[in-house]
Amino acid sequence: MPFPSGRAAGNMRAGERLMHIEPTTATDWLRSAAAAARAASSALGRMPATARDAALHAAAEALRRHAAAIVAANAQDIAAFDAAGGAPAFRDRLLLTPARVEAMAQGLEEVAALPDPLARTLADWTRPNGLRIRRIASPIGVIGMIYESRPNVGADAAGLCLKSGNAVILRGGSDSFHSARAIHAALTEGFREAGVPEAAVQIPPTTDRAYVAAMLAGSGLIDLIIPRGGKSLVTRVQAEARVPVLAHAEGLCHTYVHAAADPEMARRILANAKMRRTGVCGATETLLIDATIAPALLPTLIADLSLLGCDFRADECARKICAELPAATDADFSTEWLGPTLAVAVVDGVDAAVAHIRRHGSEHTEAIITEDEAAAEKFLCGIDSAVGLWNASTQFCDGGEFGFGAEIGIATGRIHARGPVGLEQLTSFRYLVTGSGQVRP
């Protein structure tokens, strides 16, 4: 038996604290958990980076040490999932294997190897009166992570939060509860060995939805909620949360092939943007193509994608060129397919492309393919999406591809951070002001 006790191993300590304070509701639990989390974040923020990194290494080792127990806990989840007749796609996300546990451990080590996001002076200036003002990075504090039944998301989030000095309360999907508990037990064991407060990573004691409700209502207790999952989960969190939320509900991304596009580049990029992986949020969902280039290029683009298994919904202009394409409805242009389907519209230049995107898009990621720099600039200034690309695939919208090392999600809101959310975006800042006796006139 790898854990100190049986059933509640993963929440041992939280459970003990709960019994001690006799909580009767999820709100009581959250209040206690958040207070411990805040103290943990405060301690983490004052630790040298080496101590946080050592904790990540210790947690990785603990994951490896307890890999068999984690896989066994996961088997419980999988058995229940199968008994309930769950869908294959969700089963694969839920499933843990020794190799996947090893990947989680390596993920923690990779985060440990990244630069310390707290070791940043964001600005440093001296006022005419001699006051020196420094804006320094600091942890956000207590983060609530709400995600689907993908156990690895919890481990990844815990690593990123710890590295950035934040405490995190992880609430994964109910189907993954045993897995989450086993992972949590391993992580906290590693933290304990490394002298980091276990309250840096906590999970609710049961799968009761009341804990989610408490987290969403946890103004003053939780500083930031990060939901990660499908549109329905994210929009529900956004609608109910009384706490700031960093997220994207959907990625309705466009690739715009401009009149001055290099045709071969357009073929290569579009095939990648649409078909590399169709289920990711950075996948292109709509092709916009200029009317002047469409007669020559659209049939080739359609043929390329058809060979890769893509199907289409095309507007009238596109169907005049490729008559075999099914007709698109207006709603098709507002649909995030997350599969091998592409909406196609012919547009008259950059302004029309921008107008289409502003009307139908989700302010996530859009690309223009063109050899005309002025057109590219007009397009990139015209859209107001988190990420705009010129002559590159929309699937580059990713923290790893941006060089962040890892990401906790993608944000399409306009507050705090947009685009891939990496370690830097998991920090806040504060000011240190150094004087020599200055008083304000």
Residues that bind a second copy (CB under 8 A): 42, 45-46, 125, 127, 131, 133, 138, 140-141, 219, 223-224, 238-239, 242, 244, 262, 265, 268-269, 271-273, 276, 358, 376, 380-382, 384-393, 395-396, 398, 401-403, 413-419, 428-440
Compute the distance between CA of residue 66 and CA of residue 62 in angstroms, rounded to an integer.
6
Of 7 and 358, nearer to a second copy (C-beta) is: 358
Give me the least distance between CB of 52 and a second copy, in Å please. 15
Find the shortest distance in angstroms from Cβ 26 to a second copy: 20
Backbone angles phi and psi of 284, in degrees to 5? -70, 135
256: phi then psi, degrees, rounded to nearest 5: -110, 115
**Nearer to a second copy by C-beta: 201 or 237?**
237
Pairing of strands 341-347, 311-314: parallel
Cβ-based nearer residue to a second copy, 75 or 133: 133
- Find the shortest distance in angstroms from Cβ 325 to a second copy: 24
Pick the closer one to a second copy by CB: 185 or 354.
354
Token reading at 394: 């929309």
Q: Considering the complex, state which of residue 205 and residue 420 has its C-beta at the smaller distance from a second copy.
A: 420
For residue 164, give Cα distances in angstroms to 41, 137, 224, 391. Answer: 9, 10, 14, 33
In the complex, minimum distance from the CB of residue 262 to a second copy, in angstroms, rounded to a whole number: 7
Q: Is 37 helix (H, G, I), strand (E, B) or coil?
A: helix
Q: Quote the least distance from Cβ 271 to a second copy, whole Å.
A: 8
Q: Could you tell me the smallest distance in angstroms from the CB atom of residue 119 to a second copy? A: 13
Residues whose CB is less than 8 angstroms from the CB of residue 77 and which lie 6 or more positions away in sequence, other chains included: 94, 149, 175, 176, 177, 178, 179
Q: Residue 246 has what DSSP assignment?
A: -
Q: Rounded to 5 degrees, what are φ and ψ at 270?
A: -65, -40
What is the number of other CB atoms lying within 10 angstroms of the CB of residue 401? 14
* Cα–Cα distance measured from residue 290 to residue 123, given in angstroms and rounded to the nearest whole number: 44
- The residue among 10 and 45 lying less far from a second copy, judged by its C-beta, is 45
Q: Which one, 199 or 314, has the nearer CB to a second copy? A: 199
In the complex, minimum distance from the CB of residue 388 to a second copy, in angstroms, rounded to a whole number? 5
**What residues contact 305, with CB distance under 8 A and at least 6 apart?**
270, 271, 274, 275, 312, 342
Q: Which residues pair with 219 in a beta bridge?
A: 222
Residue number with CB closer to a second copy (313 or 418): 418
Smallest separation (angstroms) from a second copy to the CB of 418: 5
Shortest Cβ distance from residue 282 to a second copy (Å)? 8
| Amino acid in position 103 | A
Q: What 3-state class would DSSP assign to 168?
A: strand
Please say which residue, 10 or 420, places its beta carbon nearer to a second copy. Answer: 420
Beta pairing partners, 222: 219
User: Whose CA is closest to 344, among 260, 257, 259, 263?
Assistant: 257
